[in-house]
Amino acid sequence: MTDRFPEGRIALVTGATSGIGLAVAEALGAAGAHVHINGLGSSGQIAAALAAVRMAGAPSASHHVADLRDPDAIRAMMAAVGSVDVLVNNAGIQHTASLAEMPDERWDALIAINLSACFHTMKAALPGMAERGFGRVINIASVHGLVASVNKAPYVAAKHGLIGLTKVAALEMAAQGSRASGGVTVNCVCPGWVETPLIEPQIAARAVDGDRDAGIRALLAEKQPSLRMTLPAEIASLALWLCRREAHNLNGAALPVDGGWTAQ
Ligand code: NAD
């Protein structure tokens, strides 16, 4: 297949000032997409993320400050971006505590950022994708959208919800476009452990005497049979492939990248 999707298309990646989102934004930029990023961070961190996306090859890159806990801010961001061909809902937070000890405020924030924000961005972006006959929504869920772990009630609830939301949107979009236009697909990528700032507190909690490598080994041994971390760029490669024309019939899926975690 010689097509150059997503070259020249408009992409929006939420939570792209760090980790997986930044890697996805760089990969889309390297493939020639105009990249809009969103995410929190210092002005230096935001400038560095934009520079990385431009350096990767993006013909244009811009940042949108929207705090994804705020639906009005999301709507304003979507209006500012305009047409979106590739929407990557990636922003996410984590908080570990037993259900009985989970702060109410953390539940609300986790559901807002990890689930409700994805509804608001998709609601804004899908009609245009349907009209144009091409669109890709890639929701970065988690193995925790497929299975549970203790001490992660809001995270597991949000990620299971995101997979359900994805399936509904995939069905509603399934008949849009054509093989030639690329169609409109909505999928989840479900990573296991990926080495990013998000999981540092969980590594630190297992790092005996501050030995970070020991913390990583312990984390992997609990869940991920490969005993290897996934790199953000590896998740980005899959996201990029999902944007291609030949992926037009891969729709409504939840794709684990988890070293065998959910095969157990
Ligand atoms: P990260 O902490 O490196 O990045 C999170 C991004 O989300 C940052 O850009 C941050 O600014 C942004 N963000 C957080 N709160 C926000 C808000 N209120 N408004 C706007 N942006 C906000 O984390 P990561 O590991 O790259 O996580 C990315 C996604 O991958 C998340 O949805 C996470 O649940 C998922 N995930 C990560 C792992 C892992 O092991 N790292 C595993 C499975 C799933």
Structural domain contains residue 47 = yes
Same domain, 96 and 205: no
Residue 97's beta-bridge partner residues?
152
Same domain, 159 and 175: yes
Query: If you measure from the C-alpha of residue 1 to the centroid of ligand 1, how many angstroms do you get, rounded to a whole number?
Result: 33
Does residue 169's CB lie within 6 angstroms of at least one atom of ligand 1?
A: no
CATH number of the domain where residue 21 is located:
3.40.50.720
Same domain, 162 and 148: yes
Query: If you measure from the C-alpha of residue 176 to the centroid of ligand 1, how many angstroms do you get, rounded to a whole number?
Result: 30
- What DSSP letter does each residue of 67-96 carry, written as one string? -TT-HHHHHHHHHHH---SEEEE-------
Q: Which pLDDT does position 2 carry in this prediction?
A: 53
Q: Which pLDDT does position 3 carry in this prediction?
A: 73
Same domain, 169 and 213: no
Structural domain contains residue 109 = yes
Mutate-to-test residue for ligand 1 from 65, 195, 196, highest number of ligand atoms within 8 A of CB? 196
Segments forming the whole domain that contains residue 42? 10-192+230-256
Q: Which pLDDT does position 1 carry in this prediction?
A: 47
Same domain, 184 and 216: no
Q: Give counts: helices (H), strands (E), the chain.
A: 9, 7
Same domain, 153 and 209: no
Same domain, 146 and 221: no
* Ligand 1 atom at minimal distance to the Cα of residue 191: 43
Structural domain contains residue 252 = yes
Angle at 151 between CA 148 and CA 154, to 5 degrees: 70
Q: Which pLDDT does position 235 carry in this prediction?
A: 98
- pTM, two decimals, is 0.98
Q: Which pLDDT does position 90 carry in this prediction?
A: 98
Using 70 as the pLDDT threshold, list the residues of the chain that sit under it.
1-2
Same domain, 104 and 163: yes
Same domain, 78 and 209: no
Structural domain contains residue 218 = yes
Same domain, 140 and 223: no
Task: Give the C-alpha distances (Å, rounded to integers) separating 190 from 33, 50, 170, 262.
Answer: 23, 26, 16, 10
Structural domain contains residue 85 = yes
Domain count, the chain: 2
